[in-house]
Every structure is written in C-alpha cells, then in structure tokens.
Amino acid sequence: MLNLNQLFQKIKIDIKKSKNKEELEKIRIKYLGKKGILTFYTKNLKNFSFEEKKKYSIAINEIKRKIIVNFNKQSEILDAIILNQRIKSEKIDISLPGRRFENGFLHPITYTINYIKNFFFKIGFESINSPEIEDEYHNFDALNIPKNHPARDSHDTFWFDNNRLLRTQTSNMQIRIMKKEKPPIRFIFPGKVYRNDYDNTHTPMFHQIEGLIVEKNINFSNLKWIIYNFLYDFFGSKISIKFRPSYFPFTTPSAEVDIINNNGQSLEILGCGMVHPIVLKNVNIDSNTYSACAFGIGIERITMLRYGISDIRYFFENDIRFLKQFKYN
C-alpha cells in the first residue's frame, strides 16, 4: 500500500508537469496502458491470497480513478492554454476601421465603346462583331489595298501564314457585311485590331469602331453631318473641328478629321470618306445605283483626348490607381 501511495504521488507530479497533450498522453500510457505500471500491479495480484487480492484490487482501482480525474483536469488546463494561445494569435482589433469593398466600374475603353454605340444606335445604326483572325482577301484585297502596300509587310502586320493574319482594321467587316446584306446598310463594327507598333501613343493591340452606310444618294455632306454631330456629342459643342483631304485605298474622296486644341494645334482623331467604287464592285453592289460612306474611329485616341491621358499604355497596365479615376454616372 505504501508503494501504491508513493506511486500515486509521483503520477500526480508527472501529470502536473506535463506541458502539452502529447506529454500527457505518454504519461497515461506509461501508467494506465496495456503495458503500464498499474496494469503490471494488477497482473501480479494472482500471486496473492483471495483477501489480499480483494484488498489490493480496491486500492489499485481507487488510484486509477484518482489518476483519471487528475488526467482529465490537466487535459482541460492544457486545452484552455491552447485555446488562449490561438485566440491571442488570431485576435482581431475591433477598434480598427472596417475594410470596405468597392464596387467595380467600367474600364474607360469599355465605357467609350458603349458611349459611341449608344450614339449611333440613336441615328439608326446596328452594331455587329467581326472576326479578329482574318484572311488576306477581306483585310487587304477586297479593300483595294495594293499588293505592294507597306501595311502588308511583316514589320507592320502580324501574319500567321501566307493568307491568315490578325486584322489591321475593322474595315474587313465592311466587305463581309456588304456581301451578306442588301442595301440600305447602316452598321458600326467595334472591335480589337492589331499592328506591329509600340510606343507611348501606339500599342500592338488597340480598338476601333468602323462605320458604314450604303444607300441611294448618300454623299459626303451626309458623312460630315454624322461626324460633326458625333464629335460635338462626345467632346462638347465648343470644340473646333477641321476636315482635311487624305488618302485611303478603300475610299475616294477621303478625309482625316482633326480637333483644334487651345494652342491652335491640329490633332487627328479619325479617318473617313466615300467608299471606293472598286470596293463596291468587289461585293457586287452597283455603284451607279448606290453610294456608300465609311469612317474609322480609334477608341484609345479619342479617350486619351477626352480625359487628358498622355500615354496609351496606361489603359493596359491595370493599375488600380489609374482605373479608380474613371467613375461614370
């Protein structure tokens, strides 16, 4: 009995000294496991008399009970320590201001495209998407662009092979829509175009909106009316606009449109003209009956002018500080 009491005191001390659940479990196995010390005591009772077995069995079971009580108490203490450590490490300072999640908003290029589409919807245009991977015929040949034109060279155009390329303008859709639809035709074609160029005013990929009208008796005055009204709507009626003669293989006569800034400098913003009779012939439209006009708007260019952006590359860097400046009503 003396040995059992001494053993119990030692077990209590060991349990109390345990610093974690792993140590506590080792102590339990050491004394109460199948090969534990108290199990060994119980097995040795077979060498005692009946009365002694009864006496020592009661004593051993009582010690086991007390050990289990102490073991459970220490387990609760260790659980509380672990919980406190976790609470401390995951503590949230409720005095800090809350984190606000801002709603997203349109990219300035997307907003400009939608703005332009809404304007032209009001005057009877439809909008249609077009393929970005194009063939040589629709991108160059049908648009009266000669074989030796610099735009066909690899330093200006991204070619996949001898026939397929990334389109260099949305004018390719003029050919496709005129082959498919019968006049009167009034469409705009927004989308991405690709040219092998990169600096603060050019990127290899940018956006255009091409406009096309095919009707009887359409003339350059109709085209100018559309351009003036669009630019006054987009930039405000106080801007100064200038048309000047230009050259495009697929239009004749052709013009480029400039905005005159406060310093009297001209800034080119779009090209336009009457669709060349050869282009109409390529799509089986009789140029003696119908006439057509077209215009092409560079989305990045007019967006930069509208918001005073100096470098086109800002549009594609996804800098949240830049994008947060554009919140639209």
How do residues 252-302 score in pLDDT, each as one tens digit?
Answer: 999 999 988 777 778 888 999 999 999 999 999 999 999 999 999 999 989
Cα 92 from chain centroid (whole Å):
31
In the numeric block, the tokens 């672990």 are attached to 82
Closest CA to 193 of 223, 168, 171, 217: 168
Residue 175 is predicted with a pLDDT of 92
Question: Where do the structural domains in the chain lie, given as residue ranges?
Answer: 2-89, 108-323
E strand or H helix that includes residue 246: strand 240-248
pLDDT value at 225 more than 90: yes
Q: Which residues contact 303 (CB under 8 A, 6 or more apart)?
A: 108, 109, 112, 309, 315
Cα separations in angstroms, 169 against 60, 174, 291? 95, 10, 22
Cis before 253? omega within 30? yes
Mean of all residue pLDDT scores within the chain: 86
Closest CA to 234 of 144, 140, 150, 115: 115
Positive or negative torsion for Cα 27, 33, 39, 43: negative
Closest CA to 71 of 30, 20, 12: 12
CA distance 285 to 289: 8
User: Measured in Å, how far apart are the chain's first and last C-alpha atoms?
Assistant: 89
CA distance 250 to 296: 12
pLDDT value at 328 more than 70: no
Burial track 66-96 (b if 16+ CB lie within 10 A, e otherwise) = ebeebbeebbeebeeeeeeeeeeeeeeeeee
Q: Which residues pair with 185 in a beta bridge?
A: 214
Cα separations in angstroms, 135 against 35, 61, 131, 157, 169? 84, 93, 10, 12, 12
CA distance 228 to 235: 11
Residue 201 is predicted with a pLDDT of 65
Burial of 162 (0-12, 13-18, 19+ CB in 10 A): exposed
Domain 108-323 top-level CATH class? alpha beta
pLDDT tens, 29-79? 887 787 777 777 777 777 777 777 777 788 778 888 888 888 888 888 888
pLDDT tens, 174-193? 899 999 999 999 999 999 99
Are residues 296 and 160 in contact, defined by beta-carbon separation less than 8 angstroms? no
Residue 2 is predicted with a pLDDT of 52
E strand or H helix that includes residue 180: helix 172-180
